[in-house]
Structure 1
Amino acid sequence: MDAPSAPSPPPVLPRPPALARRSPEPPAPSPVPTRHSEVSAFRTDLERLRFSPYFGRLSAVTQVVPQSGVGPVMHNRLTHSLKVSAVARVIAANLAARQAAHLDHAHGRTPEDDPVGAELVRLGGCDTVVSQAAAHAHDLGHPPFGHLGERVLDRVARTSLGLPEGFEGNAQTFRILTRLDTLGREEPGLNLTAAVRASVLKYPWTRGAWAGVGLRSLPVDERPRGVGTQPETGAEKFSAYALEAEEMDAVLAAHPAVAQGMQTLDCAIMDLADDIAYAVHDLDDFVRAGVLQHAPVAGEFRAWLADDGALAHADAESLSARWRSPGASLELLWRGLAYKDPWIAAREVFAEAVERVSTELAEGLLARPYDGGGMSERAVSAFTNRWIDRLRSSIVVDARPHVRSGHIRLDQRAWHEVAVLKFVHSRFVLDLPELAQNQRGQARVIEDLALAFDAWLCDPHDRTRAPRRLLEWVDEATEATFALASRRPELLSGDRGEEGLRRQGRARAILDYVSSLTDQQALATHASLTGRVPLPTR
């Protein structure tokens, strides 16, 4: 009788298309895709991101709350990205273990199969390094002052600079990775693998792809997130400008098992990790800075939980008019969730989430004022760790996700809890009058910068003295705009005459330049352009 043959090594998850780079690189030791070569390629991408000046710049871009003299250093976009990466790594590692378990079963090593692992393999698999790379890259496109700067640049671009496509932080991230950043080579971008480039496409479409689609033209159950709120201009959230639309299509083609309009698995992991880090980690800052106060937070939650039906049956107009009254804002949050996401929203689950956040945050963490001491620090850390563990262990793999969801998502309970935690941000931080006053000044800075650079570039007598990088980007963006108009004119919107195309190229370069500044660089540049600082003397 022949001796039993030794088991052959487990099969490798084949992802050669996802390893493809735009430009050739020095040949790897082995041309045959293996698990080792795949990991090596993805780690190369991760290191390129870590050494990118755009990544380092995030240390000087505010997350939500500016620096405070109380307690440890506040989060910025860089520390936020690192925490998103840590959360993404754990989620991806847990899912990758289930993939491996399925492959072991397929090879006869285990008696039982894991249907979740089988589904992950069918969809192309996830990778811990790719998920980390996505987390590192996800905020690269944030302009100075974060989401505020994003909104201002979008408005100014569409109303004053002749660029209907506007500005969007996610699309700017993809543009940085594929066009603006450089490895010191002639080719643009970081030359990342298709897997990593696809992993930042949270909204895998252009703004124009959804132009004209609104509440009446398409039911909410058929509209992805970020689509339908501005039908006249297109998608509110999108991950590629027209100039990078063909590149987006090319990297998505490397993931044929993922349905059109859906995120890749690594991208979905990054998106979840971003939500978790934002919902929980940013509360650290709000507590330490003294922004979150016990009385208003507890009052809001107590009023909604104690409601005898008056809030639930109040008409929307009266609720909106008295949104500052305790309980009214939470009721408006519930109605918004129920309208946008009826596929998962349930009032009883929402009530449980409100109860839990009220107990642990309003009546727990905030019941004792933060004083910077060890006990206060331990309380904040314990709250954060408990919630991070709770949320990252609440992951669902969905073979047939809703159009507003993804293949990897939070379960129903955790989804509601994240919504309530985010509500605390918007209601008790972003709506603060003192923060709003500061943000109005920041908005003025961003608008003035964009318009001032546009005026400078249109000055025939002084244009050549504009910043060299800006002039180079104007030439490159204008050339790319004309090339796209010749090759794929349907991707462009607005004036497509010669002067209109030149204006669009100039506007895109201005947005690239202003959005690449840090908060302090924006303030200093604004001061010098407006003559508010003394001119240097010789």
Structure 2
Amino acid sequence: MARYDEHDQARWVPEPPGNPERSAFERDRARVLHSASLRRLAAKTQVVAPADCTGLHSPRTRLTHSLECAQIGREMGKVLGCDPDLVETACLAHDLGHPPFGHNGEAALNELAAPCGGFQGNAQNLRLLTRLEAKVITEDGRSAGLNLTRATLDSVCKYPWAGSSCRIPGVPLAAEGRPYCVYPDDLAVFRWVREGAPDYAVGFEAQVMDWADDVAYSVHDLEDALTCGHVTMAALRDPEERLEVCRLTREWYAPDAGVEELSETFARLLAEPLWPAAFDAGLADLAALKRLTSALIGRLCRSAQDATREAYGCRPTPGGGDGRTRYDADLVVPRTTRLECALLKGVTVHYVMSREDHHAVQARQREIIAELGDLILRGAPATLEPALRPQFEQAADDAERLRAVVDQIASLTDASAMGWHRRLSAAMHRLKAS
């Protein structure tokens, strides 16, 4: 803890000293682990839906992805000299703001929330951690959320700026259409979190968290796609299939790379002996697949760790020493490593996210979000959960009332969003029929 001072460990609402045997960041980790928001991730799809798989394999949910991301981030942070509990907590919390139906639901909610400033999963993260989660209530009755330390909250903010539509002077803004981590009505706590930080600077721990996230889902989504039969080793070795993966990778993740560069990088990666010759889901194949995922994670992590060490001329040690923390370093990820990670994500885009049946499901999901917003608004505040009704009732205008409805929808899981939609639709039909 030597490199983290009182400023880093401060809390938005001061609290009495806790158990001296636990650090401030260990307390933060426990708060996130015990949060309702983290538990809800168990019922939110990552990429491959459970119905797409049969047998022994169960695809990742947002929760299992977050746990795997946390394990990767903790080890990377420890190697690079960060507080491992701090990085692990940031990883555990990084997806809390994801609404039902993942990025598809995020796009639908952004459209619904346009009159109140839009919706962004990263901004919802900060809102959950500092307002919506029930842990600490201030003397004047407002919620401080989990009341995490400044350094932990900052480490969750991988896009430390407001949306481009924000019109408040002195607030750093995202480029048009880019992600952001704060809504206008959460700026007070955001300014406190960023106190002393350079505008637009992303903290070192947040960079480690972000790379751990990329590594985790690029590799594990590939594993899920292979195990559930969406992609085969034969397809990955087919030149035409690989070319399409490269084209999609360039479109989605690597606009600064040419298809030829991506093709060469992909060929070199697939030529590594770590890839199994075939995959038929037998025990030996499953073991070979686990060796592949372990090797890929190690490859992507070690590359970034080694490059960062070399850039700063040191061998960081856990908890301080020569370690780099907060704003005195950047994580260095070599270009080839970034392209390898992007290509792994491109495989999932091509074989899972670009399927016609996937598009049809997504269209229906967006309809459900839009209809649910209308149904909840019509019956609010009674249609809101008790914890969110005061937010709606005390709202100063329609925009604030809409934000309460958006908070409600964002809190739902995939299954509960569909359940709420059925229930409220049926109630509306009964009302019209009476």
- For Structure 1 versus Structure 2, the TM-score category normalised by the shorter chain is 0.7 to 0.9
The residue aligned with 2:208 is 269
CA, structure 1 residues 168+15, in 2 after alignment: closer, same or farther (shift >3 Å)?
Answer: same
Aligned residues of 1:287 and 1:370 also touching (Cα < 8 A): no
Residue 16 of structure 1 pairs with residue 6 of structure 2: yes
The residue aligned with 1:77 is 62
Once the two structures are TM-superposed, the CA of residue 452 in structure 1 deviates from its matched residue by 1.2
The residue aligned with 1:322 is none
CA, structure 1 residues 92+185, in 2 after alignment: closer, same or farther (shift >3 Å)?
Answer: same
- Deviation string, structure 1 residues 351-385 (Cα, Å, up to 9, x no partner): 44211343359x944x52433x2112112101100
The residue aligned with 1:43 is 26
- Deviation string, structure 1 residues 510-529 (Cα, Å, up to 9, x no partner): 11101101111111111111
Aligned residues of 2:409 and 2:417 also touching (Cα < 8 A): yes
Higher relative contact order at CA 8 Å, sep ≥6: structure 1 or structure 2? 2
Residue 407 of structure 1 pairs with residue 330 of structure 2: yes
- In structure 1, give the amino acid aligned to 2:285: S
Aligned residues of 1:349 and 1:416 also touching (Cα < 8 A): no
Once the two structures are TM-superposed, the CA of residue 71 in structure 1 deviates from its matched residue by 2.4
In the aligned structure 2, how far is the partner of 1:281 from the partner of 1:337? 17
Secondary structure at the aligned position of 2:159 is classed as coil
Work out which of the residue numbers 179, 196, 214 in structure 1 matches 2:131.
179
In the aligned structure 1, how far is the partner of 2:413 from the partner of 2:286? 29
Secondary structure at the aligned position of 2:332 is classed as strand
Once the two structures are TM-superposed, the CA of residue 466 in structure 1 deviates from its matched residue by 5.0
Aligned residues of 2:46 and 2:61 also touching (Cα < 8 A): yes
**Which consecutive unaligned segments of at least 5 residues does structure 1 have?**
1-10, 31-35, 97-125, 212-223, 304-324, 400-405, 458-462, 483-501
CA, structure 1 residues 140+94, in 2 after alignment: closer, same or farther (shift >3 Å)?
Answer: same
Work out which of the residue numbers 423, 426, 434 in structure 2 matches 1:531.
426
Secondary structure at the aligned position of 1:273 is classed as helix
CA, structure 1 residues 281+173, in 2 after alignment: closer, same or farther (shift >3 Å)?
Answer: same
The residue aligned with 2:356 is 433
Moved more, 326-335 or 178-187: 326-335
Once the two structures are TM-superposed, the CA of residue 298 in structure 1 deviates from its matched residue by 3.0
Work out which of the residue numbers 194, 204, 212 in structure 1 matches 2:150.
194
Residue 375 of structure 1 pairs with residue 298 of structure 2: no
Aligned residues of 1:45 and 1:196 also touching (Cα < 8 A): yes
In the aligned structure 2, how far is the partner of 1:24 from the partner of 1:326? 55
CA, structure 1 residues 533+472, in 2 after alignment: closer, same or farther (shift >3 Å)?
Answer: closer
Moved more, 149-158 or 269-278: 149-158
Once the two structures are TM-superposed, the CA of residue 274 in structure 1 deviates from its matched residue by 0.1
The residue aligned with 1:137 is 93
- In structure 2, give the amino acid aligned to 1:530: S
The residue aligned with 2:42 is 59
Aligned residues of 1:349 and 1:413 also touching (Cα < 8 A): no
In the aligned structure 1, how far is the partner of 2:206 from the partner of 2:387? 31
- In structure 1, give the amino acid aligned to 2:192: A
The residue aligned with 2:320 is none
Count of equivalent residues? 400
The alignment-based identity, stated in percent, is 31
Superposition TM-score, scaled by structure 2 size = 0.84
The residue aligned with 1:507 is 402
Q: Note the 1:267-416 alignment, pairs <5 A.
A: 267-299=206-238, 302-303=239-240, 327-328=243-244, 330-331=246-247, 333-334=249-250, 340-341=255-256, 345=257, 350-359=262-271, 364-365=275-276, 367-371=277-281, 373-395=282-304, 396-397=307-308, 407-416=330-339
CA, structure 1 residues 22+352, in 2 after alignment: closer, same or farther (shift >3 Å)?
Answer: same
Q: Note the 1:156-175 alignment, pairs <5 A.
A: 156-158=112-114, 162-163=115-116, 165-175=117-127
The residue aligned with 1:26 is 16
CA, structure 1 residues 466+61, in 2 after alignment: closer, same or farther (shift >3 Å)?
Answer: closer
In the aligned structure 1, how far is the partner of 2:122 from the partner of 2:154? 12
In the aligned structure 1, how far is the partner of 2:253 from the partner of 2:48? 26
- In structure 2, give the amino acid aligned to 1:368: A
Residue 248 of structure 1 pairs with residue 190 of structure 2: yes
- In structure 1, give the amino acid aligned to 2:389: L
In the aligned structure 2, how far is the partner of 1:348 from the partner of 1:61? 36
In the aligned structure 1, how far is the partner of 2:181 from the partner of 2:413? 22
The residue aligned with 1:218 is none
In the aligned structure 2, how far is the partner of 1:83 from the partner of 1:337? 22
Once the two structures are TM-superposed, the CA of residue 464 in structure 1 deviates from its matched residue by 4.5
CA, structure 1 residues 331+467, in 2 after alignment: closer, same or farther (shift >3 Å)?
Answer: closer
In the aligned structure 2, how far is the partner of 1:328 from the partner of 1:62? 25
